[in-house]
Amino acid sequence: MRVIEIAKIIDSWMPTSIAEDFDNVGLIIGDPESNITSILVTLDTTEDVVEEAINKGCNLIVSYHPIIFNGLKQITNDNYVQKSVIKAVKNNISVYAIHTSLDNHPKGISYLLSDLIGLKNISVLLPKEEKLNKIKIGLGSIGELEKPMDEITFFDILKNKLGLKYLRHTNKLNKKISKVSVVVGSGSFAIKDSIESNVDAFITSDFKYHNFFEADNKAILIDIGHYESEKHIKLFIKEFLNKKLPNFTVLLSEQNINPVKYY
């Protein structure tokens, strides 16, 4: 099967047309007419991941994040992006990125995290005007816990379900958690909308110091970490590819680890 055929299958699932304008999704590296033997699924296409694809005989990498995000003016092995691109091209490895197509899809990455932590009646938090097959698209999710619970119990559930070593949060309000919003990745832009939606808690990552003041004791803001909020997506992508390409070998990258270390 050719790269272009697999790209069409992925695009029919998570269309590039619903990605953000600033993003770089779809086929980023490779010849669309190349034949694919096996696929490696990853969060990030680093040089180590490309090396892993070479060692495992995978000539297509399906990545959540795009390795080329901003324009490249030179390719000289000067940084990790250039090194990854050079190694992929030299070894005839194609790279396809999904990123904000998954972010904006109503059953995309925020929905999946919401479902993973047990939310019900999940809908889009920040809907866009356009739709996908008459279904609302947009960033983030909002839903309800099956049963309201106290804040510490909710924190413990998040840590257990998501494998978190720690989480950052605003002041506890000593009230039950029921309605929750989620934006996977960097989501401080959705604090205001979450509070106006009367959530009890908003889960995202990459809060800056002053973002925590924006809670204004109206909801609990919870920062679970950028990698931690996205790491589940590899399994979801692999599951889809296994269903659509049952005769293909689809592997999960073992090199993708959190670049942030804690002491």
What is the structure's pLDDT at 133? 85
The string of pLDDT tens digits covering residues 230-253 is: 999 999 999 999 999 998 999 999
- Give the global pTM: 0.94
Distance CA 234, CA 117 (A): 17
- The CATH architecture to which 105-229 belongs is 3-Layer(aba) Sandwich (3.40)
Identify the CA nearest to 184 among candidates 138, 215, 253: 138
The string of pLDDT tens digits covering residues 131-160 is: 888 889 999 999 999 999 999 999 999 999
* 3-102 against 105-229: fold identical: yes
CATH class given for the domain over 3-102: alpha beta
Distance CA 180, CA 123 (A): 11
The residue extents of the domains of the chain are 3-102, 105-229
The single-letter DSSP state of residue 133 is T
Distance CA 210, CA 244 (A): 45
Amino acid at 214: E
Amino acid at 89: V
Please provide the distance, in angstroms rounded to a whole number, between the alpha carbons at the two ends of the chain.
46
